[in-house]
Amino acid sequence: MSKRSIVGLTNKASLIAIFLLLYWVFIFSVSTVFGFKALREDLTESFFMAILAYSHCSPVPSWFIE
């Protein structure tokens, strides 16, 4: 891999991470402001399930289920 392709992959990974962080902040602020009990109780679990449902290409690892 050349330096240019590594930089491109790093940029894509950072953009995805920023998008996921903004998504989590949005869900957290909406659940805090409007008081959604279902989201407030399992916020992190809901976030992980939303990400895993979005990425159809990889199955859920066995260590995540336990």
Sequence spans of domains, the chain = 3-65
The per-residue pLDDT string of the chain (66 residues; one tens digit each, 9 = 90 and over) reads: 789 999 999 999 999 999 988 988 888 788 777 776 665 566 667 667 777 665 555 555 555 554
pTM over 0.85: no
Distance, CA of 60 to CA of 65 (rounded, Å): 8
Distance, CA of 7 to CA of 22 (rounded, Å): 22
